Amino acid sequence: MSLCRFSHRSSQGGVRERWGWLEEETVYPLPDEDVSAVLRGKGEQTLSGLSLAAFRTEPIPVRSVTLCAPVCEGMEVWAAGVTYESSKLARMSESAGGGDFYAKVYTAQRPELFFKATPNRTVGPDAEVRIRADSHWNVPEPELAALISANGALLGYAIGNDMSSREIEGENPLYLPQAKVYIGSCALGPSVVPAERIVENSLTIELRIRRGGEPVFAGQTSTARMRRTVADLARWLFRENRFPRGVFLLTGTGIIPPDEFTLQGGDEIEIEISGIGVLRNRVAQSKE
């Protein structure tokens, strides 16, 4: 039972992206205005309420649709950083300037929050995430992603991948937007599980990377290791900011591959979060 975004060839031959309600192997298309109202914080305040609208529409087998990132025009993706000790330590050691500010932000009251992506920079399940041509040290960052409505209600959870260039961020923290924000730098999916079905503080997050079919990295953490709560991060995000169509907030990574590891074109990334699902993406090496 989750909210998804999908594309599907209609009987008239057209293909369009739309919202749907995913129940096991079936997708029930949802009226755009119903989902939009929830995201805008009007009326219904939970995703589960959408299931009623879904059962009035014609079901489609999930195998005949393409799942997309659960974001639409007007939505934004933001991210929190240094919310796990492992992220703090890795960044301190990679930082050319010593990285004292990572230690400070880890314990500070104000979290690190940064703009991550627009829908056109975000890919969905089985699509390609990208590594930059001007970076030689790149990693996926598997993160719990929270969907929050315009009025700050926590609607649900998905899986996020905050693709990052460790080389560019490590050279100078002022390069963070270039390390983090580019076409194909964010993956979201496979769908959004209603918040009321998830206990946020004890989820297992697993990352598996394969190259030529062989495992080259695997790691695991738990959201129990997160230093901040999603609600606290969301409160900071909404300070002096408005998200009229809703926003995704990635909550930081706790899995850092060893320093000698970098992604390569063709790698397969699999992120699993208990109770939410599995997000798979292939890596494309930019030629720009």
> Contact residues for ligand DO4 (CB under 6 A)?
79, 81-82, 87, 91, 112, 141, 162, 176, 252-253
Contact 254, 226 (CB under 8 A): yes
**Nearest approach, Cβ of 178 to ligand DO4 (angstroms)?**
12
User: In this complex, which beta carbon is closest to ligand DO4, that of residue 2 or of residue 95?
Assistant: 95
Map residue 146 onto helix, strand or coil.
Answer: strand
**Nearest approach, Cβ of 58 to ligand DO4 (angstroms)?**
40
Residue 276 contact among Mg ion, ligand DO4, none, beta carbon within 5 to 8 Å by kind: none
Tokens of 109: 């009251």
Strand pairing class (214-222; 247-250): unpaired
169 touches Mg ion (CB under 5 A): no
253 touches Mg ion (CB under 5 A): yes
Q: Which residue is nearest to Mg ion (CB)?
A: 162
Binding mask 119-148 for Mg ion (x = CB under 5 A): ----------------------x-------
Which DSSP category does 6 fall into? E
* Cα-based angle 165, 166, 169 (whole degrees, multiple of 5): 90
**Nearest approach, Cβ of 143 to Mg ion (angstroms)?**
6
Burial class of residue 143 in the structure, from the number of CB atoms within 10 Å of its CB (0-12 exposed, 13-18 middle, 19+ buried): buried
Contact 105, 111 (CB under 8 A): yes
Binding site for Mg ion (CB under 5 A): 141, 162, 253
